[in-house]
Chain A
Amino acid sequence: MTARDELPVKGSKTRTQAGYIGKAEPRANAKRLLQGRGSFIDDLRFPRLAQVVFLRSPHAHAKIRKLDFSKARTAPGVIAVVDGRAVAEYCTPWVGVLSHLKGLKSAPQFPIAIDRACWQGEAVAAVVAETRAQAEDACELIVAEYDPLPAVIDMHEALAGRHVIHPDLGDNICFNREVDFGAVEAAFAKADVVVEESYSFGRHTGVCLEGRAILADYNAAEHTLTVHHATQAPHMMQDIFSKHLNIPEANVRVICRDIGGAYGIKVHVYPDEMCTAALSIMLRRPVKFVADRMESFLSDIHAREHKVKVRLAATKAGEILAFDLDDLTAIGPYSVYPRTSGIEGNQVVNLTGGPYKHQNYRAKLNVVFTNKNVTCQYRAVGHPIAVALTEGIVDLAAQKLGMDPAEFRRRNLVPDDAYPYTGAAGMKFELLSHHQCLDKLLALMDYKALRAEQAELRKKGVYRGIGLAAMIEVTNPSPAFYGVGGARISAQDGATLRLEPTGMLTVLSSVTEQGQGTEGIFAQIAATAVGVTMDKVKVITGDTSTTPYGGGTWASRGAGIGGEAVLQAGKALRSNILDIAAAILSVDKATLDVYNNEIIDAASGASRLPLAELGRVAYFRPDTLPMKFQSELMVTRHYTPREYGFTFTNGIQASLVEIHPDTGFVKLLKHWCVEDCGTVINPMLVDEQIRGGVVQGIGGALFEECHYSEDGQLLNASMADYLVPMSGEMPDIVCGHVESPTKSSELGAKGVGEAGTAGAPGAVMNAINDALAPLNARVNSMPFTPERILDALGAANAKG
């Protein structure tokens, strides 16, 4: 392939070469991880490293009457045993609010509870020892006495407010919001068909292979704090450590090593992690905390737990007129800092009904405090709820109208030529492709044949169901997400590219890698933009003292925002390289190009100068260059999406299931997902993101739930009792893509990391209900356990 043969980037009218973009390149770090050469925080060895473990409240809500550390302090290996007051001397409290979520309130939270514990699992004391085992032994020697307080566990009780968790706040309502667009009442009044259903979504959590981990190393001589942290947002954490531990920002360095999964779990401020950093300062030595599995269940953020009532109005002809929504969600005793726990409910309000062209929309949201573990943003934040309830009620309407669910969707999805388009909930869409995606999906799954097979099998007593779920997804958020609300979270990301003397390319990015392959796609973009081969590129991420400043990895933003910064830096570097080449070769820059690690003649493709030779001259023999010429082989560029609040993506999923009516078991037979993430940078990674996301979505639909007792005890804080989805039960997942690149960037990439999780629960729910339909049963409480399905069938039997 010569330079002229190279394709343009799939964005419109760009001059960049396609190169590796769109290719299924294997990622460089996969081999290292497979060979066991990953470097996770627990692999680090430091002199004088101490380990901290936490005594956690056994009560959901209790006054801490007494903490006696005398025995624990004298146990072997113990360095310190501290309570909340001692740690508060080193770390100021925080309040998880954002000003653009009007009225959102929360109470001050400390690294370790002072006087009162508000959930089972909240840390009430910390033990630092030479080894983790010694610290655990000593922890058992702490004498802790509590006076239990009334625990608010049920979200309706929380709303009613008989017991107020934080009396200073007046009630248990963290946040509420009401929107009313168009003429909802009138739409319902004139509708031919009104359907209404309530859905409940179980509380679950994102189970990371690697538990939360932090190693804080305070250097008193320099007054510097180096934090090795399994976080998705190193610069955000740098700011937070600086602010709450009172160390100048420049003296705080946050380093992310390999991270074993994050899914949003590792983008929040956790009290035990803040405590670890504070202890490092207090004790003037490195201190490490790694959450064990039980602690992870008790203290990693949980998510979901919504109870929603939704209504839909439609005409006989199958036109959706309006959605009306009432969502109640419980978030635990604190809104999590700094992103707040109001976002998930807010997203449900923003996204419900999103794929459709109705003009009337009303929604009511209440976010309440309870005495359970906190909830916050976890992969696909709010989307699984909004998609499932939208698609559930859409299916119910289609059923009532006697219309095929695919056809009903076709009539109501926003047309592909309607963009830019503003949805009924006020969301602005630049360019979506609902109809292309629907068509592609139906073809991919052979929808007609499946429906025919389903009908045949029903005659034989085999109950198969087909479920569809269309979706929109928030990606590449602008500062409208957090920055405008006062959070010091960057919506911008940066990339620095440096051509090394040997012609190698070093890429430094502010986006982090936690197993999803970000570094791999950045290498592809950089190699493409500069004109080198992949093997020449080395990507460095996750170090606040070396990378550009940026937001990190969350909200499906890494590729779209960080990738664009890499592309722009690459183009600038390429131009600088050509300046040097023109100087060395004494030709016009416009006649040259960079391709395959060489300077070539752009017209003929003939090789002129290897980059290694250019590097040698630029770095070691600049004396041979023209007198006034200074080469610049290191370039930094930044990118912030600003035209739209979010770069929305869209897609549609389908699930095929078989129900066993005598056992209530659901067998997942197959799953399909067609989505549009704009430019596909690496189809293999995109498909794996989709598949992994679908599996997480299926987890929420069928398996995962944090079970709490009436007094607020988490009953299944182990991998034996908390059911994560496993490969044995997962269906084949077929992926398809439509590419509508965003014009807001040259790369054209939208996000994809959360799409699978967003749509899968709704698709599975609809498939189950489709299978149950001939038995006159329906389910609407996730997860759909066999017992819940049996109950629905039992209820149906009783009725019929």
Chain B
Amino acid sequence: MKSPAFAYAKPRTLDEACGLLEAHGEESRIIAGGQSLVAMLNLRLAAPGLLVDINAIEGLGGISVQGDRLVIGALVRHREIEQSGMVAENCPLLAQAAPHIAHVAIRNSGTIGGSIALADPAAEWPACCLALDATFRLVSKKGERRVAARDFFKGLFATALRPAELVAAIEIPLLPNHRSVFLELARRRGDYAIVGLAALARPEGGRLHDVRLAYLGGGDAPILARHAMQAAEGKPPAADLSAELARDLSPLADLENRAATKLHLANVLARRALAALAA
């Protein structure tokens, strides 16, 4: 299929971009890597009047350490994160998760900002951001505000983003004493996972502290599995968190998996992740 016709603008500054979004309101749509949006356009699932291409805006790219945070610009491609020494050193979870996102060609274009803004419940970055307790810098004509990842994801493709607001950067607190594991189960390499888990903890003498378990594919949004985290806190790796996970997660059935199957798989991942964190 072919996309319906749309107008196209490629602003050079953030200010200009915010102005366009403000002026065109609902009719406008940001395009970053285009790896999700172009498919939606061609399937005629989206029909914006104006595409605001943010790729030429300076200041939306780059990876840096600023104080006790790793800061990743919204336009940073999945592939840059995967290959960045700075990310591997300061936030290994992202480096572990990146290869699971789609395929190289898609990772070369797709952006972390796009992934956060889209908020696919099966996407890797949103779950990682929950586990890492990241904060998003959001910018609009009205200025900048900062929203914690844990307050940002609201449901199926729903976020705290306001109309005419864009994701400018992702700030991630450095956790030098934590260990991380990223696991997911996908039918084929590069597919969205049936269920996945971004896990972090500080291991100490065989016990796990500050346990964080963030699931993708566990519900209509990325989910921090609080009951499971609580049950695992301060203990040696748990073998079975199925009761807690049943309270935390509410997976949606898909064509090949019932909700109960996904819950079962989530528990398998928790067991594997906790064991790996303590090892």
Contact = CB atoms under 8 A, between A and B. Distances in A.
A703 B187 CA distance: 8
A224 interface: no
Given A665-B185, A723-B188, A725-B188, 4 more contacts: A136-B2, A136-B44, A292-B1, A785-B256
B46 interface: no
A277 B194 CA distance: 44
B185 A721 contact: no
B84 interface: no
Contacts of A786: 185, 187, 194, 256-257, 261, 265
Nearest to A76: B5
B239 to A, nearest CB: 12
Contacts of A627: none
A726 B4 CA distance: 31
B24 interface: no
A623 B255 CA distance: 76
Interface string B41-79: 001100000000000000000000000000000000000
A663 B185 contact: yes
Nearest to B254: A721
A294 interface: yes
B36 to A, nearest CB: 11
Interface in B142-188: 185, 187-188
B206 interface: no
A294 B255 contact: no
B187 A136 contact: no
B258 interface: yes
Interface in B1-52: 1-5, 43-44
Contacts of B3: 133
A665 B257 CA distance: 13
Contacts of B4: 133, 136-137
Contacts of A728: 188-190
Given A294-B43, A715-B255, A703 B188 contact: yes
A729 interface: yes
Nearest to A293: B1
A140 B4 CA distance: 11
18 contacts: A136-B4, A294-B1, A662-B268, A663-B185, A703-B187, A718-B43, A723-B188, A726-B188, A726-B189, A728-B189, A729-B189, A785-B187, A786-B194, A786-B257, A786-B261, A787-B257, A787-B261, A790-B264
The 9 closest A-B pairs by CB, nearest first: A728-B189, A133-B2, A785-B256, A787-B261, A707-B255, A662-B268, A726-B188, A292-B1, A787-B257
Interface string A124-145: 0000000011001100100000
Interface in B224-243: none
A729 B188 contact: yes
Interface in A644-703: 662-663, 665, 703
A718 B265 CA distance: 25
A622 B187 CA distance: 69
Nearest to A790: B261
A716 interface: yes
Nearest to A715: B255
Contacts of B44: 136, 140
Contacts of A663: 185, 265, 268
Contact of A716 (B194, B255, B268): B255
Interface in A101-151: 132-133, 136-137, 140
Given A662-B268, A663-B265, A787-B261, A721 B189 contact: no
B64 to A, nearest CB: 33
Contacts of A726: 188-190
Nearest to B195: A663
B5 A133 contact: yes
Interface residues of A, number: 26
A735 B261 CA distance: 37
Contact of B256 (A136, A720, A787): A787
B196 to A, nearest CB: 12
Interface of A: 132-133, 136-137, 140, 292, 294, 662-663, 665, 703, 707, 715-716, 718, 720-721, 723, 725-726, 728-729, 785-787, 790
Given A663-B265, A707-B255, A716-B255, A723 B2 contact: no
A641 B203 CA distance: 73
A136 B1 CA distance: 8
Nearest to A134: B2
A721 B3 CA distance: 20
Contacts of B43: 294, 718
A10 B85 CA distance: 59
Nearest to B190: A728
Contacts of B268: 662-663
B258 A787 contact: yes
Contacts of A137: 4-5
Given A703-B188, A723-B187, A132 B256 contact: no
A726 B189 CA distance: 8
Interface in B244-272: 255-258, 261, 264-265, 268
Contact of B2 (A132, A294, A715, A718): A132
A513 B92 CA distance: 50
- Counting chain A CB atoms within 10 Å of each CB, which of B1, B185, B191, B258 scores highest? B1
B39 to A, nearest CB: 8
Contacts of B187: 703, 723, 785-786
Nearest to B257: A787
Contacts of A715: 255
Nearest to A295: B1
B268 to A, nearest CB: 5
A173 B2 CA distance: 40
A236 to B, nearest CB: 30
Contacts of A292: 1
A663 B265 CA distance: 6
- Counting chain A CB atoms within 10 Å of each CB, which of B2, B5, B189, B194 scores highest? B2
Contacts of B194: 786
A136 to B, nearest CB: 5
- Counting chain A CB atoms within 10 Å of each CB, which of B4, B261, B268 scores highest? B261
Nearest to B189: A728
Contacts of B5: 133, 137
A716 B254 CA distance: 11
Nearest to A131: B2
Contacts of A716: 255
A720 to B, nearest CB: 8
- Counting chain B CB atoms within 10 Å of each CB, which of A715, A718, A720, A787 scores highest? A787
Contacts of B257: 785-787
Contacts of A665: 185
A520 B86 CA distance: 51
Contacts of B189: 726, 728-729
Nearest to A135: B2
Contacts of B190: 726, 728
Contacts of B256: 785-787
A47 B189 CA distance: 44
A140 B1 CA distance: 12
A274 B238 CA distance: 63
A721 B255 CA distance: 8
B125 to A, nearest CB: 18
A5 to B, nearest CB: 50
B183 to A, nearest CB: 11
Nearest to B1: A292
A726 B102 CA distance: 13
Nearest to B3: A133
Nearest to A719: B39
- Counting chain B CB atoms within 10 Å of each CB, which of A132, A137, A662 scores highest? A662
Contacts of B192: 720
A292 B39 CA distance: 13
A718 B187 CA distance: 16
A228 B40 CA distance: 31
B195 to A, nearest CB: 10
- Counting chain A CB atoms within 10 Å of each CB, which of B3, B187, B194 scores highest? B187
A791 to B, nearest CB: 8
Contacts of B261: 786-787, 790
